[in-house]
Amino acid sequence: MDLLNKMLELSSLNELVGQKAAVYALRRFAEDVSKDKIPKPLLLYGPPGTGKTASVYAMAKDYGFNILEMSSSDNRSRDAIERFIANASPKGIFKSKNIALFDEIDELVGSIDRAAQQAIIDLIEERKLPVIMTANDLWDKSIYILRSKVEAVEFKRLSIEDVKQRLYYLKDRFKLNADNDIIESIAMQSGGDLRAAIIDLFSLNASSKEELDSIGYRNRDIEIFKLLDRIFYSNTLSSAINAINLYNDSDYTPLINWIAENIPVKLHNINAIYTAYQTLAEGTAYISSTAKRQYFYLYRYASIFIFSSILRARLESSSEISSSLYRYPKIISSISANRASKEALDAIAARLKDKIHMSIEDIERQIIPIYIKAIKYSKIDMNQLKQQFGMDEKNIDYLLNYYTY
């Protein structure tokens, strides 16, 4: 994790690729702050992974500033925001200058009450200390009131060459064992999201081209890490459900695998883990009904359960999200076991087919892995599982050994 953090950081604004105009605006802002001026707040906007947040911290390194950050994943109650603002002062304890950073201001403002919104606006208008905000969309309706009060600075989507340049630099700097084919493939499929490309490079360090191809990489329309962030970190139902707009595939199986794999990674509360798997399983049941009966309107219900599974789990158990790195799904590699094991798995899936009303293949890919994870990580009633699916202890022991995570 330390290596990943170092790879994601910028040592200086000079390392920011493809954003010359933004670098100029940030340096001009920093020069004013260095002269004890409080410049007009900056709103850095643009697609994910273009360097908005990283550039603020790089600027702080260049000029010796402190960053006081509040992001959309922090406690966003009125009291928390007012406390953050009240404690913010132009100078830190060592007399270095402070800058307030509101990361993902579009989601932050959209999820707090008007009093908390007004507290942020007052901070901007009163110019008590320098303020920088980031957002994906300058024209998001949730921040319309801020647009006239800030200097908007665009971060453009990076070109493939920009992404490649940074990846090759990181490979050389950290002596990564990644061949050029992997770097080229990551850059080509990054969609201009450098942060996601760096995470891929870190995760696939020493991987082969075949492993890279088997992952089911992002393209310009689907960026799986951005989608997972929205599903795992959304604090409102509308934000979680709207994440469906980031997913353009009619097959929910890959997404279900990603969520199922990362529930125990990102959630550590056992009740939250159980609720998340239960809700995800309910979503797969609607998918099964859709396929079996051709009732395609049921997809809308499936999507609600799938995209809100983590939010429901967090709200019901007051669980926090871990900062652990997402894990790639291992279901596909688990199912590619030897023929004897596959035949045994088919026999168990066939036993479940009449009760679940799904194909054997879908039961093996979607249902069994979810229930095995529920057995491993939650308080699922084993007797109920045996009765409901007609499985004995030998079957359950086999599955626990077959699916290794």
Output the domain CATH number for residue 109.
3.40.50.300
Question: Residue 186 sits in which domain range?
Answer: 160-214
Q: Which two tokens stand for residue 77?
A: 């109650």
Q: Are residues 201 and 273 in the same domain?
A: no
Q: Are residues 23 and 120 in the same domain?
A: yes
Longest CA span, the chain:
74
Half-sphere exposure of 221 (CA within 13 A, CB side): 5
For residue range 303-355, list pLDDT tens digits in order: 788 888 898 888 888 778 887 778 877 654 554 444 555 666 677 777 666 55
The answer to whether 306 touches 283, Cβ cutoff 8 Å, is yes
For residue range 183-226, list pLDDT tens digits in order: 888 888 777 888 888 877 877 664 444 444 444 444 433 467 77
When the pLDDT of each residue in the chain is averaged and rounded to a whole number, the result is 76
Report CA-CA distances (Å) from 119 to 74, 150, 235, 284.
Answer: 16, 16, 20, 43
Please report whether residue 71 resides in a domain: yes
Q: Are residues 84 and 13 in the same domain?
A: yes
First to last CA, the chain: 19
Per-residue model confidence (pLDDT) at position 72: 54
Please report whether residue 97 resides in a domain: yes
Q: Are residues 256 and 364 in the same domain?
A: yes
Q: Are residues 313 and 185 in the same domain?
A: no
Q: Are residues 31 and 115 in the same domain?
A: yes
At residue 118 the predicted structure's pLDDT band, cuts being 50, 70 and 90, is confident
State how far the Cα of 402 lies from the Cα of 405, in Å rounded to an integer: 10
pLDDT higher than 50, residue 239: yes
| Closest among 376, 351, 374, 349 to 363, alpha carbons compared | 349
Q: Are residues 143 and 248 in the same domain?
A: no
Quote the radius of gyration of the chain (alpha carbons, Å).
Answer: 24
Domain end residue (candidates: 103, 137, 154): 154
pLDDT higher than 90, residue 385: no
- Residues of the chain with pLDDT > 90, as a percent, come to 20
Domain end residue (candidates: 103, 127, 154): 154
Phi, psi values for residue 70, rounded to 5°:
-130, 125
Q: Are residues 6 and 61 in the same domain?
A: yes
Q: Are residues 142 and 281 in the same domain?
A: no
State how far the Cα of 351 lies from the Cα of 359, in Å rounded to an integer: 11
DSSP string, 271-335: HHHHHHHHHHHHHHHHHHHHHHH--GGGHHHHHHHHHHHHHHHHHHHTPPPP-PPPPPP-HHHHH
Per-residue model confidence (pLDDT) at position 214: 44
The answer to whether 58 touches 10, Cβ cutoff 8 Å, is yes
For residue range 21-39, list pLDDT tens digits in order: 999 999 999 999 999 899 9
Please report whether residue 219 resides in a domain: no
Taking residues 266-284, report their average pLDDT.
88
Output the domain CATH number for residue 202.
1.10.8
Phi, psi values for residue 43, rounded to 5°:
-115, 105
At residue 231 the predicted structure's pLDDT band, cuts being 50, 70 and 90, is confident
State how far the Cα of 295 lies from the Cα of 121, in Å rounded to an integer: 48
Residues in the chain: 405
At residue 392 the predicted structure's pLDDT band, cuts being 50, 70 and 90, is low
Sheet holding 98-102: strands in order across? 66-70, 98-102, 131-135, 42-45, 151-154
Per-residue model confidence (pLDDT) at position 84: 75
State how far the Cα of 316 lies from the Cα of 313, in Å rounded to an integer: 5
Give the distance, in angstroms, between the CA of residue 67 and the centroid of all CA atoms in the same chain: 23
State how far the Cα of 368 lies from the Cα of 145, in Å rounded to an integer: 49
Q: Are residues 255 and 278 in the same domain?
A: yes
Q: Are residues 111 and 240 in the same domain?
A: no
Domain end residue (candidates: 137, 154, 171): 154
State how far the Cα of 207 lies from the Cα of 218, in Å rounded to an integer: 17
Phi, psi values for residue 237, rounded to 5°:
-65, -40
Give the total number of structural domains in the chain. 3
- Identify any residues that bridge with 131 across adjacent strands, giving them in sequence order: 100
The answer to whether 404 touches 369, Cβ cutoff 8 Å, is no
- Residue 203 amino acid letter: S
The answer to whether 155 touches 23, Cβ cutoff 8 Å, is no
Q: Is 317 exposed, middle or buried (0-12, 13-18, 19+ CB in 10 A)?
A: middle
| Closest among 41, 43, 135 to 88, alpha carbons compared | 41
Q: Which two tokens stand for residue 137?
A: 């969309």
Element (H, E) at 122: helix 114-126
The answer to whether 339 touches 332, Cβ cutoff 8 Å, is no
Q: Are residues 165 and 119 in the same domain?
A: no
